[in-house]
Structures are given as C-alpha cells and as structure tokens.
Amino acid sequence: PVAIHREDYAPPAYWIDTVDLTFDLDPAKTRVLNRMRIRRNADASNQPLRLHGDELNLARVLVDGQGASFRIEGDQLVLENLPDAFELEVFTTCQPAKNTKLMGLFVSQDTFFTQCEAEGFRRITYFLDRPDVMASYSVLMRASKDQYPVLLSNGNLVEEGDLADGRHFAKWVDPFKKPSYLFALVAGKLVAREQRVKGRSGRDHLLQVYVRAGDLDKTEHAMNSLIRSIVWDEARFGLSLDLDRFMIVATSDFNMGAMENKGLNIFNTKYVLANQATATDADYANIESVVGHEYFHNWTGDRVTCRDWFQLSLKEGLTVFRDQEFSQDLCAEASARAVKRIEDVRVLRSVQFPEDAGPMAHPVRPDSYIEISNFYTVTIYEKGAEVVRMMQTLVGREGFAAGMKLYFERHDGQAVTCDDFAQAIADANPHSDLTRLLPQFKRWYSQAGTPRLKARGTYDAAERVYTLHFDQSCPPTPGQSNKDPFVIPVNVGLIGASGRELLATQTLVVTQAGETFDFAGVDEEPVPSILRGFSAPVVLEFDYSDEQLLTLLAHDTDPFNRWEAAQRLGLRAAMAAIDAAPGAGAPVLSNDFIEAMRRVLTDTSLDAAFKELVLTLPSETYIAEQLETVDPQRVHAVREAMRARLATALHAEWQQAFEDNRDTGAYSPDPRSAGRRALAGMALVSLCLAARESGDTVWPGKTLQRFKDAGNMTDRFNALHALVSSGHALAAQALASFHAMFKDEALVIDKWFALQAGAPDRGGDVLPLVRQLMKHPDFSIKNPNRARSVIFSYCSANPGAFHRPDAAGYVFWSDRVIELDAINPQVAARLARGLDRWSKLVEPYRGAAREAIARIAARPDLSKDTLEVVTRALQ
C-alpha cells in the first residue's frame, strides 16, 4: 500500500456543485443513482476526472444524458475529454447486509445506517470523496414502508409519500453545502423522543433522538445533554444552531462513538441510552460529553471543515477542547471542574503519552498516512485539544473567544487548515505571546513526541529571590530525530513550608532549550507548584523531596497539583518496590504515604470525587511508561500489593467512607452524588480486598447484599466489581444473577463481559475464561461493542492477565487481530495497537510479542489498516 503525504496536497481538478441521490433501499442489493453537476477547476491543471469507489458494482455512466466512455483504474472511475461543466450520472449497486466493515451503507438490526467519515462515501457511490469538495445534496429514498417506516437524511424533509407495492419515499434537502464525509442516511423501524426549543435569536428547532422501540425510556438524558449543548455554545461562543431540525439516531453496531453528520448525528447506543437501572454515572457523563462533542462539531467541523485529512485535528482537537470545557462549565463547583480536568489528563498521560513514545507516534498534524482511519488517535484528539488549550492559556479566555469569532468570520463555509485556525486566534490577539511566538508555537502541530521539562529551583534568602530554571528536550520519534524547542506555557505558584501560598498562579512562557525565571519578594524557601492545571502536555521533572510532595498534597491551592503530588508519591513507591529484589520484604508503601492517604480519606473539606482520584494509584500502563524496561508481571504484582496494603492499613477509614457515602438518595448523575458513589464503590473494593487478605466474610456478604438491593446501576455494578476483583466466591452467584437481570440489555451485557475479561488474573485463569466467554451465546465478534467488551478488555486493559510468560495471551491476541481483520479492519487495526510498546518489555515477553506481531504481518490479504499498524510496530 502507498503512503499519502501532506506535502502532495493539490486542489481537486473538478468541483462538484450539486449531488442528487436516489436510493432504492434493499439489504441485499441497494441501487444508487447519483446525478452530479460538475465543473472543471480553472485553477487546477487539466486532468481526467478520477472518482473514488470501493466495493461498488457499476451499472451505468452518463455524461449530459449520453453514454460516456470511462475506465476503471484500481478503485477509481476515470473519465476523460470532458466539457468544462457537465452533468454526470452514475448508477451503482452495493450490498449493505454484507457490509461487516460498517463503513458506507450498512445494516444493523434491520435498520440502514451510513458511516462516511473518513472515506466511506465512496462505498455508496463514485465521488470526489475528499473533504475540500463541498456540494449541495438532495436525497430521495425509496423503501418498503412496513420494514423501513422512518426514512432520514441530512437537512429538511421536503416531500414524502406512498408508492406502489407497499413502498414509500422521502425526499430530503440539506440547505448547507457539505463534504461527502458528512452525508448520512438512516432507514428503519425507529421511534423518537422529540422536543421543540427556541434559540437565543428566537429561531425554532425540532430536536429528535431516534432509537428502537424498547429504548425510548433511555433517551431523556441524551435529549437534555443536547439542549445543554445548544445553550452552552450560544453562551460561551455565540454559536447558534443553524438548522430547523437536529436529529440523533442510535445504532448498536458502530466502529466509533458517534458521527457528526450535518443535522443527522449517528451514535453508538453506548453514548445515547441511559436510565438509572442500566447506566452508570460514568455512562451518564460520557453521554453528556459525546452528545456535546458531536453537537459542537456542527460549527467546528461542519460549518468550517478540514481541507484534507492531515488537518483532522483542526476539527477534532478543537471539538474535544470544546466538549471538555462544556463538561467543566456544567460543574457547579470549582472542585468538580478540577476533577474533570484530572480525569482528562489521566487519559492523556496513560494513553496519549505512550502513543507519542511508540511506533505510531505522529504529529498532531501528521505528515503521511497509509490508512487515514488509523489516525483517529489520542494524539489527534486529546493532544490536539491540549494544543488548543495552550492557545487559550496564552491569549486568555476572552481573547480565545475573540479568536474563535474571527475564525468563523474568515472561514465559514470553507475547508481549511490548522494554520488558518492558529492564525485567526493570533490575529484576534495581536499583543499576545501567542502572536509573538506563532511560528514556534506551531511546532506543537509539526513535531511529535512528549517534551520533557526539567525544572530546578534555588532560593536566595538574603535577596528573597526564588529562581526556577527549566531545560526542555523532546525524544526522537519515527522520522523525526531532532526537535526544536516548543513554546510551553507553565502555570506556577509558590507554597510555603507551612502551607501558605506565597505566590498565586502566574503563567511563565518557556521558549528556549534552557531558561531561567526569578520571583522577587519571596519570604521563605518555597515549594514550587509547577504546571498547575497541567498547563502543557509535557512530562515535568522536578526533584521534589517526599516532604515537599506531602506539603503540596496537603496545601496546594491548585487541586490538580494536589492530586499530582499524590501520584508522584505513589509512582515513587511503585518504582522503589519494582527496583527492590523480589521477596526482599520491604513494605511496598511507607507509613508517611499511608498516613497522607488516611488524612485525605478523612478530610471533611474534600469532595468524595477528589478523594477517589487521589486514592487511585497510578495505573500499570502509566507506571510501565516510566520504566526503561518493563516486566509487566512485576509491575502488576507491585501495584496489587500497594492496593492491598492501602486496603488493609486504612480498613477503618474505608468502612467510614462507605458508611458516609453509601446512600446518595434519589438517583441523580450530578458530579457531587456521582463522586460519593465512586468513593463508596472504591471503599467496597478495598474492604473486599482486605477481607480476602484476612479471610473475613462480613464485607463480601454485605457487598452481595448491596448488589441485590441497589437502586441504580452504579451502586450495583460497583458491588459486583468489588466481588469480582477481589476474587471472592460470591462473585459467581452475583454474576449469574446480573446476567439474568439484564439479559435483554445489550449495553449492560457488555459490562458483564468486560468485567470478567478485565478481572485480576489468579494463576492464569483469565485467558481460559475469555475463550469461554467467546463461546457464550451472547457473544458476537461482528458487533464492535461486544468484541471490545471481551477481546479489548482482556488484551488492552488487563496487562496482568494478558502478558503471560507462556505467550498464550499474545497468541490469542494475534489470532483475534487476524480474525477481526477479515470482518472489520478498523476494529482489527485498533486491537493491533495492543502491543505497540513491545520493545520495552523484558524477555521472554519481548521476543514473544515481536513474534506475535510478525505473525500478523506475514498474513497475505491483510487490510491496509492492520498492515500499517503492524509494519510500524516492527520498524
């Protein structure tokens, strides 16, 4: 397969102004008639028209109503000797029922859906399937009225009616020009929750959330989230809904979370359906942020889109930033905002940082790709959002809003680049550091890798001056051996030894490889609180003493750095235990650390959600990232020992925490109640773990009772999790009753599978269990959610069970990648990322992992998705 390079971008040789599509929908063979008005691009060189296609059966091609000569070259339909402007009619068929890739037009539970981003439209019809070709669409759909009573597409319904033979039709016209990746169609037996709302300017909108008949009682939260999103975007950025009708449709077969098709968002059911009996607090929060994310794309993605797919972060990084801000702004309390920020940073550091250090590392604006689907990554999304966040830090919140306004004034209706976005933010803030440093700042877009920021401090008591010195560097990444310095906004405050804040937050802008900053009028030797709020996506190294970290944990006014201090202490303890000779007998946690955790757990001024985050030890993947070479079993054993120690040493406090937070009253997913449930759940896990060590049966019994009595899914699932993760005998009974209770709720059954596949390994028991789960009648590898709940939960989220000295986990993984690749290459390629960090492993894991990757790479007929991932892993 050939790589596509950003530098080779050229405007299209033709423009497509209008597209009139007629669909005769049939699962076995759908007929698509595509009439386009096309004109030559006067600015481009004179070339043939090359339309993209993928797995289409071509029946007819007419130019201006006449049979035309054409040829098929690979996947392209090529026409030559065309007039400057003409009508092209292409008639094709496709087979939606056989479409297991879930790209293009596919069938899920007897309903037609489309997924066109990034290159799925070419699986529906021949087209210039690239985001800079924006056209006006009209869509005529015809289908059996009985089987497909609801017919939806983008824009407005302009006509509908009955046809002969029990068929009916609907015609939709989208008032906005759009790229083909935003096209959508849905046809099936669906019902909708509806709500009419008025925008700030008084415009009426009809909002609809479409689901299958039995799921209507699970749509209230999604609808409320949509309304909150509309209100927020008007208030924060002055951006209003531009459509009369905005629809969300849920499908249980979907490769990703959701898709922002203009006016017709298609969602994975996981991010729509919720009621208190079936969804956890985390599900509620995810639904709110994904509904927000897709809605915000209406401006950042749909109204202003990407010139080419290298600019993907233009819409994704910016829209993640917007959904993160939305979720934070919905928090009534500052502490809840901080909790959200910590959660976002946790994802960035435990998933994106490893990506940036591995074989798939790429800049936020990549330079090349083989398969664009492989670049829907945490770097494009989450690191991209951090780049936008740094811009906001450098120009201020108001300045950023002004920059957004200018961006839309300049580029509404256009397909643009990351440069255009950065330029608009800078131009709206002419006196800002961002504008002064713009070319250097844009290295965040062009250089991959996570910068290291080494800081050291000196205090001159006589002069009352504290000096902070920074050195920055960035490790090499594939294709980029040397990096130039980044612009790094570093939020800093100073704390006195007794906990008094000596200096409130200031933003330092580090631009050099080495740079020094002085703080005058500092009365005592301070503890620096550096990178407050995680103001830049860097690894900060500072040689804190344990006492200094304990001071920050107890007193920092910045909640992020309070949490960070505990993470540093936990990480330090883990590293020391990993370095110590196995069986040396040294305690895995110091008394100071345990006492600090006791103080946090009993501190009545702290929110439960914050306590839960502080008491969660750094993850195994995060610990592994800090090591030169990784023995995954050692990392797992050490972390488990640390968890067990915290569980037993704080037994009385866990009991109290459970009692204090066990009852949250009538269910509401608000951050405060959710935080209390999270802490009660963590307490149960700890109490069951401690019971395992001591042989006590009281807490497992109480946990089973709580599982039975729970009034909401969060409490029920947390109790089940406590039994399963402590390996208690009562877990089997609870698991069986959970399955019986929720056998008709697919999303809950996903949780049931995931919990078991992700359970701590005891003597190698998880892999046989996973094999058994794959034989369960409810398992289907073709359904991405189900495949993720079993296979990904084991291979990508259960390192202690997956990294087996006998390599059986890796063999299982390679078998599944190969199996999935023939069904759904996008899902397979995600799974194929599971051993990205193989080269850090110690033997025998390293050699076995390499062999498993090579085994996949050696398969003939591998999709380019999976081939790109495994080839890069082996380089």
Q: d(Cα 875, Cα 865) in Å, to the nearest integer?
A: 16
- Least separation in angstroms between residue 293's CB and Zn ion is 5
* 92 versus 255: smaller Cβ distance to ligand HT7: 255
- Least separation in angstroms between residue 770's CB and ligand HT7 is 26
868 is catalytic: no
Neighbours of 729 (CB within 10 A): 9
Site for ligand HT7 in 233-292 (CB under 6 A): 255-256, 258-260
- Least separation in angstroms between residue 316's CB and ligand HT7 is 5
Q: Which one of ligand HT7, Zn ion, none is in contact with 564 (Cβ closer than 5 to 8 A by kind)?
A: none
CA distances (Å), origin 448, targets 345, 380, 510, 513, 760: 18, 11, 18, 17, 34
Q: Which one of Zn ion, ligand HT7, none is in contact with 433 (Cβ closer than 5 to 8 A by kind)?
A: none
Q: Which one of ligand HT7, Zn ion, none is in contact with 259 (Cβ closer than 5 to 8 A by kind)?
A: ligand HT7
- Least separation in angstroms between residue 312's CB and ligand HT7 is 8
* 319 versus 814: smaller Cβ distance to Zn ion: 319
3-state SS assignment for residue 268: strand
- For 318, phi then psi, to 5°, come to -65, -40
The answer to whether the beta carbons of residues 490 and 530 sit under 8 Å apart is yes
Rounded to a whole number of angstroms, the distance between the first and last alpha carbons of the chain is: 16
Residue 488: in which H helix or E strand, if any? Answer: strand 488-495
Site string for Zn ion, 262-301 (x = CB under 5 A): ----------------------------------------
* 199 versus 257: smaller Cβ distance to ligand HT7: 257
Q: Which one of Zn ion, ligand HT7, none is in contact with 118 (Cβ closer than 5 to 8 A by kind)?
A: ligand HT7
Q: Which among 117, 119, 288, 294 is annotated as catalytic?
A: 294
* 260 versus 283: smaller Cβ distance to ligand HT7: 260
* 316 versus 745: smaller Cβ distance to Zn ion: 316
**Closest residue to ligand HT7: CB criterion:** 256
Query: Which stretches within 742-824 are classed as H helix?
Result: 746-757, 766-774, 784-787, 793-795, 799-802, 808-821
* 247 versus 502: smaller Cβ distance to ligand HT7: 247
Q: Which one of ligand HT7, Zn ion, none is in contact with 392 (Cβ closer than 5 to 8 A by kind)?
A: none
Residues 6 or more apart in contact with residue 843 via CB below 8 angstroms:
none
Residue 442 found at the interface with ligand HT7 (CB under 6 A): no
Q: Is 569 exposed, middle or buried (0-12, 13-18, 19+ CB in 10 A)?
A: buried
The answer to whether the beta carbons of residues 868 and 374 sit under 8 Å apart is yes
> Taking Cα atoms as reference points, which of 470, 461, 515, 524 lies closest to residue 494?
524
Q: d(Cα 750, Cα 754) in Å, to the nearest integer?
A: 6
> Taking Cα atoms as reference points, which of 158, 134, 160 lies closest to residue 149?
160
Q: Which one of Zn ion, ligand HT7, none is in contact with 115 (Cβ closer than 5 to 8 A by kind)?
A: ligand HT7
Of 172, 326, 376, 441, which lies in the binding site for ligand HT7, with binding defined by CB under 6 A?
Answer: 376
The interface region with ligand HT7, picked from 69-77, 110-118, 122-130, 734-742 by CB under 6 A, is 110-118
**Would you report the helix, strand and coil content of the chain in percent, each value rounded to 5?**
45, 20, 35
Q: d(Cα 377, Cα 383) in Å, to the nearest integer?
A: 9
The answer to whether the beta carbons of residues 688 and 700 sit under 8 Å apart is yes
* 319 versus 373: smaller Cβ distance to Zn ion: 319
Q: Which one of Zn ion, ligand HT7, none is in contact with 117 (Cβ closer than 5 to 8 A by kind)?
A: ligand HT7
Site string for ligand HT7, 463-502 (x = CB under 6 A): ----------------------------------------
- Least separation in angstroms between residue 85's CB and ligand HT7 is 32
The interface region with ligand HT7, picked from 114-122, 321-329, 808-816, 852-860 by CB under 6 A, is 114-122
- Least separation in angstroms between residue 283's CB and ligand HT7 is 18
Q: Which one of ligand HT7, Zn ion, none is in contact with 376 (Cβ closer than 5 to 8 A by kind)?
A: ligand HT7
- For 555, phi then psi, to 5°, come to -125, -15
* 313 versus 319: smaller Cβ distance to Zn ion: 319
- Least separation in angstroms between residue 102's CB and ligand HT7 is 8
Q: Which one of ligand HT7, Zn ion, none is in contact with 256 (Cβ closer than 5 to 8 A by kind)?
A: ligand HT7
Total residues at interface with Zn ion (CB under 5 A) = 2
Give per-residue burial for 510-528: e unless 16+ CB within 10 Å, then b: bbeeebebebeebeeebbb
* 823 versus 842: smaller Cβ distance to ligand HT7: 823
* 70 versus 295: smaller Cβ distance to ligand HT7: 295
* 260 versus 556: smaller Cβ distance to ligand HT7: 260
> Taking Cα atoms as reference points, which of 705, 591, 572 lies closest to residue 650?
591
The answer to whether the beta carbons of residues 544 and 518 sit under 8 Å apart is no
Site string for ligand HT7, 812-851 (x = CB under 6 A): --------------x-------------------------
- Least separation in angstroms between residue 285's CB and ligand HT7 is 17
Site for Zn ion in 308-327 (CB under 5 A): 316, 319
3-state SS assignment for residue 110: coil
Tell me the two tokens of residue 528. 């620096």
Total residues at interface with ligand HT7 (CB under 6 A) = 15
Q: Which one of ligand HT7, Zn ion, none is in contact with 548 (Cβ closer than 5 to 8 A by kind)?
A: none
Residue 828: in which H helix or E strand, if any? Answer: helix 825-832
Of 115, 261, 276, 477, which lies in the binding site for ligand HT7, with binding defined by CB under 6 A?
Answer: 115
Tell me the two tokens of residue 347. 């994802």
Q: d(Cα 386, Cα 382) in Å, to the nearest integer?
A: 6
- Least separation in angstroms between residue 117's CB and ligand HT7 is 5
Q: Which one of ligand HT7, Zn ion, none is in contact with 442 (Cβ closer than 5 to 8 A by kind)?
A: none
- Least separation in angstroms between residue 275's CB and ligand HT7 is 24
Ramachandran region of residue 764, left (φ > 0), alpha (ψ -120 to 50) or beta?
A: left
Give per-residue burial for 29-60: e unless 16+ CB within 10 Å, then b: ebbbbbbbbbebeeeeeeeebbbbbbebeeee
* 283 versus 620: smaller Cβ distance to ligand HT7: 283
Tell me the two tokens of residue 143. 């289908």
Q: d(Cα 722, Cα 707) in Å, to the nearest integer?
A: 10
> Most distant CA pair in the chain: distance in Å?
94
Q: d(Cα 67, Cα 88) in Å, to the nearest integer?
A: 10
* 316 versus 355: smaller Cβ distance to ligand HT7: 316
Q: d(Cα 51, Cα 78) in Å, to the nearest integer?
A: 6
The interface region with ligand HT7, picked from 112-120, 510-518, 626-634, 765-773 by CB under 6 A, is 112-120
> Taking Cα atoms as reference points, which of 160, 168, 119 lies closest to residue 142?
168
Query: In this structure, what DSSP letter does residue 792 have?
Result: I
Q: Which one of Zn ion, ligand HT7, none is in contact with 255 (Cβ closer than 5 to 8 A by kind)?
A: ligand HT7
> Taking Cα atoms as reference points, which of 390, 314, 298 lies closest to residue 348?
390
Of 142, 178, 262, 293, which lies in the binding site for ligand HT7, with binding defined by CB under 6 A?
Answer: 293
- Least separation in angstroms between residue 181's CB and ligand HT7 is 8
> What residues act catalytically?
294
Interacting residues toward Zn ion by CB under 5 A: 316, 319
Interacting residues toward ligand HT7 by CB under 6 A: 115, 117-118, 255-256, 258-260, 293-294, 297, 316, 373, 376, 826
